[in-house]
């Protein structure tokens, strides 16, 4: 399911998460030289990147450059169906992982467990295949680096953006977890059935947290 994130005109002070830093390293690996990396990062910080469209295996955005605007598309390999199911199993292996993901955290052991099963969630530089409508002869150009840099900010804020890029967005993940819990619950008794309750509680908690955050940003006062 395609999702479009609004244009960001202010850069974060820093990328704080380990998975956000891993994305940054992949962007550095993808760049041919500092000649593209530095101006690309500067363009991202200036807010030259328009709204970023994230879909299964695809990132799309326009980048302003003076009086011109160029279209950048990045293609990232998606998980094969069996690998996507394996990732669902990894998430479901510990109920706390669902709550962590919905709260904006990516457990390190989740990624390690997935890698043991052959599921690569975090991309490496060679997987970030970028093209741009500008006349630069190398890809990724500075415009593509700007888009990839801002996508890193999105991933830093919400690791489920990473899942979506790999072909398993939030809705698909939750639906798969529900289906797994329901199917196992019929034969495995109430213990496995508790996973469905954990999913519901985690979703509710995440939605409540988002509403509170929105109220804080809107300047609402909360009594102690």
Decide if 120 contacts 168 (C-beta within 8 A).
no
Q: Does residue 223 lie within any of the structural domains?
A: no
Residue 224 placed within a domain: no
In a 13 Å sphere around the CA of 158, the CA atoms on its Cβ side amount to: 15
Residue 191 domain-assigned (yes or no): yes
185 shares a domain with 114? yes
Same domain, 214 and 141: no
Are residue 86 and residue 115 in the same domain, yes or no? Answer: yes
Model confidence pLDDT, tens digit, residues 189-208:
443 445 555 555 555 555 45
Q: What is the pLDDT of residues 3-23, one digit of tens each?
A: 889 999 888 888 899 999 999
Q: Do 139 and 192 have their domain in common?
A: no
Asked if the structure places residue 182 within a domain, the reply is yes
- pTM for the complete prediction? 0.82
Q: CB within 8 A of 115, min separation 6: which ones?
A: 121
Same domain, 29 and 67: yes
- List own/partner pairs for 103-109 with CB under 8 A and 24 or more apart: 103/202, 103/205, 103/206, 103/209, 104/157, 104/158, 104/159, 105/17, 105/159, 106/17, 106/18, 106/19, 106/159, 106/162, 108/18
Those residues with Cβ within 8 angstroms of residue 220's Cβ, 6 or more apart along the chain or in another chain = none
For 70-75, what is the mean pLDDT?
97
User: Would residue 61 count as lying in a domain?
Assistant: yes
pLDDT tens readout for residues 123-148 = 999 999 999 999 988 889 999 999 99
Q: Identify whether residues 115 and 132 lie together within a single domain.
A: no
Check if the beta carbon of residue 54 is closer than 8 Å to that of residue 5. Answer: yes
Give the residue numbers spanning the domain of 95.
79-119+169-218
- Same domain (yes/no): 30, 58: yes
Same structural domain, 95 and 19: no
Do 105 and 40 share a structural domain? no
User: Is pLDDT above 60 for 99?
Assistant: yes
**How many C-beta atoms lie closer than 10 Å to residue 157's C-beta?**
16
Does 48 lie in the same domain as 91? no
More confident of the two residues 36 and 163: 163
User: Quick one: how far is CA 94 from the chain centroid?
Assistant: 21
Query: Do residues 153 and 98 both lie within one domain?
Result: no
Is the same domain home to 109 and 194? yes
């Amino acid at each position: 399911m395609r999702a479009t994130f609004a244009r960001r005109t202010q850069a974060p002070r820093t990328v704080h998460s380990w998975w956000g830093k891993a994305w940054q390293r992949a962007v550095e690996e993808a760049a041919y030289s500092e000649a593209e990396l530095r101006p690309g990062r500067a363009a991202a910080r200036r807010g030259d990147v328009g709204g970023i469209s994230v879909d299964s295996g695809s990132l799309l955005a326009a980048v302003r450059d003076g009086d011109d605007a160029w279209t950048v598309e990045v293609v990232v390999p998606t998980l094969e169906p069996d690998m996507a199911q394996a990732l669902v199993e990894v998430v479901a292996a510990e109920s706390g992982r669902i709550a962590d993901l919905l709260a904006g955290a990516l457990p390190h052991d989740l990624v390690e467990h997935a890698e043991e099963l052959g599921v690569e969630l975090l991309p490496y530089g060679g997987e970030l295949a970028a093209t741009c409508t500008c006349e630069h002869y190398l890809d990724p150009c500075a415009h593509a680096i700007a888009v990839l840099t801002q996508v890193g900010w999105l991933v830093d804020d919400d690791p489920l953006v990473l899942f979506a890029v790999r072909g398993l967005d939030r809705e698909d993940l939750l639906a798969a977890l529900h289906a797994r819990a329901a199917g196992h619950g019929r034969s495995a008794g109430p213990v496995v059935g508790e996973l469905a309750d954990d999913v519901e509680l985690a979703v509710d908690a995440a939605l409540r947290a988002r509403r509170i955050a929105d109220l804080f940003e809107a300047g609402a006062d909360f009594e102690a």
